[in-house]
């Protein structure tokens, strides 16, 4: 198994709605005894309504946050924020908001180079940055520019280049195609497909778009109210959903009509 999550609960304390001095903190349960197994080599899409816990699941799975209860294992080993083990080296991450993963003060070439330096990857880092920019369809000469000089779609390409820089075994991507127009999105989806296949990289994708989930992943996990309610091969789950939440997601896809 690449990841195994057992009985994972994650709660947040947030200020209540009432004005002071009556305000009391309330607890929000983002993950509630969640179980999930991610077999090695099977690309997995995580889908679910807004607020179902998808981004929290990724943060806990990446050992960026500790669960309040339950365990997270990466290739059989227990991982925590203090002891992430092999996880940090093996996984590349594309955040929901590409702007947030790129330092606005750094030229994008330096941002892409950073994981190569942090993980002490051998070889000519300048040549690797040029190769990565080329692979995501950008002119290597743009390495000297800062993120503000790029469009949203270009920043997503740069974030992808950075996530793939050190040749990760797993790419974890949280809604990486959300901030772009449909044509750019289709190009980015094809790019992720090509680059993960070429590098033998396993993909773990959070997406609101069921079509993209189906295009890129073999398996799907459906989240509802802080738990995984259904998992299996995408084709089977979408053709014969067993959970109400899956049926609701499938029913909410707007058909395109023409002619």
Ligand X SMILES: Nc1ncnc2c1ncn2[C@@H]1O[C@H](COP(=O)(O)OP(=O)(O)OP(=O)(O)O)[C@@H](O)[C@H]1O
Applying CB under 6 A, the residues found at the interface with ligand X are 12, 14, 28, 30, 48, 50-56
CB of 51: closest distance to ligand X in angstroms? 4
DSSP conformation class of 254 = P
Q: Which is nearer to ligand X, 52 or 111 (CB)?
A: 52
Handedness of CA 241, 243, 253, 37 (dihedral sign): negative
Q: Which is nearer to ligand X, 144 or 225 (CB)?
A: 225
DSSP conformation class of 258 = -
CB of 54: closest distance to ligand X in angstroms? 4
Rounded Cα gap, residues 49 and 9, in angstroms: 18
Rounded Cα gap, residues 126 and 195, in angstroms: 20
CB of 96: closest distance to ligand X in angstroms? 7
Residue pair 36/227 in contact by the 8 Å Cβ criterion: no
CB of 8: closest distance to ligand X in angstroms? 12
CB of 256: closest distance to ligand X in angstroms? 23
CB of 110: closest distance to ligand X in angstroms? 29
Q: Which is nearer to ligand X, 53 or 115 (CB)?
A: 53
Helix runs in 85-135, H state only? 87-90, 98-101, 108-118, 125-135
Rounded Cα gap, residues 162 and 135, in angstroms: 11
Q: Which is nearer to ligand X, 56 or 101 (CB)?
A: 56
Q: Which is nearer to ligand X, 50 or 183 (CB)?
A: 50
In this structure, what are the phi and psi dihedrals at residue 161, rounded to the nearest 5 degrees?
-60, -40
Rounded Cα gap, residues 34 and 10, in angstroms: 9
Q: Which is nearer to ligand X, 29 or 214 (CB)?
A: 29
Which of 8, 1, 94, 100 lies closest to 57 in space, CA to CA?
8
């Amino acid at each position: 198994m690449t990841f195994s999550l057992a009985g994972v609960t994650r709660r947040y304390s947030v200020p209540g709605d009432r004005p002071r001095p009556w305000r009391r903190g309330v607890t929000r349960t983002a993950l509630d005894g969640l179980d999930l197994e991610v077999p090695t080599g099977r690309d997995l899409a995580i889908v679910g309504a807004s607020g179902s816990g998808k981004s929290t699941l990724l943060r806990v799975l990446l050992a960026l946050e500790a669960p309040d209860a339950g365990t997270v294992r990466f290739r059989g080993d227990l991982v925590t924020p203090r002891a992430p083990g092999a996880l940090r080296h093996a996984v590349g991450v594309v955040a929901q908001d590409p702007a947030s993963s790129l330092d606005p003060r750094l030229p994008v070439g330096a941002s892409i180079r950073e994981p190569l330096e942090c993980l002490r990857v051998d070889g000519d880092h300048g040549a690797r940055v040029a190769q990565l920019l080329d692979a995501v369809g950008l002119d290597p000469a743009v390495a000297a520019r800062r993120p503000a000089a790029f469009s949203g779609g270009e920043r997503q390409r740069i974030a992808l280049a950075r996530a793939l820089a050190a040749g990760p075994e797993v790419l974890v991507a949280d809604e990486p195609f959300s901030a772009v127009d449909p044509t750019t999105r289709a190009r980015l989806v094809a790019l992720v497909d090509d680059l993960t296949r070429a590098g033998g990289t396993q993909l773990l994708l959070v997406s609101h778009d069921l079509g993209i989930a189906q295009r890129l992943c073999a398996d799907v996990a459906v989240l509802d109210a802080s738990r995984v309610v259904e998992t299996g091969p995408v084709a089977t789950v979408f053709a014969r959903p067993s959970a109400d939440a899956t049926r609701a997601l499938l029913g909410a896809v707007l058909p395109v009509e023409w002619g």
